[in-house]
Chains A and B, each alone.
Chain A
Amino acid sequence: MSGNRVAVVGAGMTKFVRRAQETAKELAWEAASKALESCEMTLDDIDAVVIGTAPEAFDGVHMNSEYLSDGCGGWGKPVIRGYVGGGTGVFSPIQGWYHVASGLFDTVLVVAEEKMSSCQPHPQGAFLTIFDNFIERPLEPNLLWIFALEMNAYMNRYGLSKRDIATVSVKNKRNAADHPAALLGDPNITVEDVLNSEVLAWPVQRLDVSPVTDGAVALVMCAEHVARRVTDKPIWVEGVGWSLDSAYWTNRDLSYPTYVEEAARMAYDMAGITEPRKQIHIAEPYDPFDYKELHHLEGLLLFDKGEAPRAAADGVTQRDGDLPVCPSGGLLGVGNPIAAAGTMKVAEIFWQLRGEAGARQVPGKPKRGLAQAWGDLMQVGTVIILGA
């Protein structure tokens, strides 16, 4: 482990909703205040603020972190925004970690927010300019193209059926039924529902995808001497990692996320983890699409390549399975306000390791968990490992 020890001591979030009346700042404030209240701290106790928000076109505000800063508690404090697209939600806590691990600050408030409903007619429009202007944009692509091509490549490589993958969506939407902040929890959803949903871009169907969402999540992170004072249940950051693959998605192996493996290896090395399948007790991989959870579990080295679907079918990834995966309900169930969704995963690991996850609590007192997000031009992996 490098640097000073860093703990997560508080977490808070808004409900994830389709269309919030609150402004983006008001959402950020609600999550940030709840996180502070959860550890009985006030804004005066906070040394610095880290803000996470994904493409500015969603909120429709350029220099979005400056706009959000007062809602994030940034008044009169050192404030920074890091940005790695959809990977931001896990990267922001990593940034919070190095603010404290470096010794520069004792306490950091990490706030991630996304208000996608501002973006009309659909946030897809904001993604058009991520594509290459000359090679791809003349074809009028949308984001689903990438996922459909990637999902098809993954299915074909390992001989997977749609049914093998739909089980992930069912698990996560059912898990989310126990999450008080969830947008799309459904205790009764079945594989047939997923297989019968509208085809968007084959093989991607409506219920394979997470929804457009508004929401915010915040964490309080601090140095060991502060953590010991404010809580008797600090959750330690044991490892962090992030990595970028080629910006040309056509120069990558779409059936395997190498960038996730690189990020995971960095985090495992830092945490001294040599056998992740035994040493990681609970995982929150990024699941904006159902196949992505499987894809990422393999990149995280938690299953052999092509083996995650079978493990899912066998119940290994259920809340009461050997490796509970997305016990929160994930992006597919809780919702996907981009940056906030990744931080929600880190908050879930925090609550699970403290035994505070309520109806979502996995059995067996897990001691170590991992959260992962993915994004940028679909080529960044960000990983954080927390331990009790």
Chain B
Amino acid sequence: MSLLYRIQHPRDALVVEGSMPITSLYTVGIAGERFFREIMEQARLFATRCPECDVTYLPPRLYCERCFSQLDEWVEAPATGRVHTYTTVHIDLDGNPLPEPRTIAFVRIDDTDGGIVHYLGKVDPSEVYIGMGVEAVFKKKSERKGSITDIAYFRPV
């Protein structure tokens, strides 16, 4: 180790700047296309079911990861679930305090073996508990664009 002991700022050593100039366009895929279109157009959640393994996947999958069979059985899932676990976030990615703390929950969707990690809204963080019943609040149809944020948040029921 040489200069590193003495430099106060990264640019005190000779440096060059660089970036990796790429962005990505991710297709949501065969199962994702139907899942997100149902959310966007109908404000409904759909799951796929593997009868062999008795597993209901939400978000839905094209194949069962356990037995590898293609999943053709689509079932509508309720937009309700229970808080499996949660956290309240106080700082942003750069470590700055958030204007309002945000509560994030892993919501196990009813009648499925899966769930969604999403914001909780219309609830004081101190009142959230594991096992709490919640429901999805969808944005207005005109604002939905086929994204997981077409669900604005989950709120207590």
Contact = CB atoms under 8 A, between A and B. Distances in A.
Interface of A: 20-23, 25-26, 29, 32-33, 36, 42-44, 57, 60, 70-71, 73, 75-76, 117-121, 123, 125-126, 128-129, 133-134, 137-138
B17 to A, nearest CB: 9
A128 B70 CA distance: 39
A42 B68 contact: yes
Contacts of A36: 68
Contacts of A73: 68
Interface residues of B, number: 24
Interface string B57-77: 000011101111010000000
B18 interface: yes
B1 interface: no
B31 interface: yes
B22 A120 contact: yes
A42 B66 CA distance: 10
Contact of B29 (A26, A70, A121): A26
B16 A22 contact: no
A62 to B, nearest CB: 11
Contact of A118 (B25, B33, B66): B25
B16 A126 contact: no
Contacts of A42: 67-68
Nearest to A109: B68
Nearest to B22: A125
B78 interface: no
B63 A119 contact: no
B63 A29 contact: yes
Contact of A21 (B30, B65, B70): B30
A118 B29 CA distance: 12
B23 interface: yes
Contacts of A23: 26-30, 32
Q: Summarize B's interface: helix, strand, loop or mixed.
A: loop
A138 B32 CA distance: 41
Interface string B24-43: 11111111110000000000
Given A21-B33, A23-B28, A29-B62, A120 B67 contact: no
A282 B27 CA distance: 38
Given A33-B70, A60-B22, 4 more contacts: A42-B68, A43-B66, A57-B20, A120-B25
Contact of A134 (B16, B29, B33): B16
Contacts of A21: 27, 29-30, 33
Given A26-B31, A32-B68, A71 B63 contact: yes
Nearest to B25: A120
The 8 A-B residue pairs whose C-beta atoms are closest, nearest first, are A60-B24, A23-B29, A70-B65, A125-B22, A75-B65, A125-B21, A43-B68, A118-B24
A302 B75 CA distance: 58
Given A21-B30, A22-B30, A118-B25, A125 B20 contact: yes
A129 B21 CA distance: 9
User: Among B26, B27, B28, which residue has the most Cβ atoms of chain A within 10 A?
Assistant: B27
Given A26-B31, A138-B16, A120 B23 contact: yes
Given A29-B68, A70-B65, A119 B24 contact: yes
A21 B37 CA distance: 15
Contacts of B31: 26
Given A120-B23, A128-B21, A138-B16, A33 B29 contact: no
A205 to B, nearest CB: 25
12 contacts: A20-B27, A22-B62, A29-B63, A32-B68, A42-B68, A60-B22, A60-B26, A70-B61, A75-B65, A125-B21, A129-B18, A129-B20
B44 to A, nearest CB: 21
A26 B35 CA distance: 15
Contacts of B65: 70-71, 75
B50 to A, nearest CB: 12
A321 to B, nearest CB: 40
User: Among B22, B26, B29, which residue has the most Cβ atoms of chain A within 10 A?
Assistant: B22
B18 A118 contact: no
A123 B21 CA distance: 10
A85 to B, nearest CB: 16
A118 B28 CA distance: 11
Given A23-B29, A26-B29, A126 B22 contact: yes
A126 B22 CA distance: 6
Contacts of B22: 57, 60, 119-121, 123, 125-126
B33 to A, nearest CB: 7
Contact of A137 (B16, B25, B67): B16
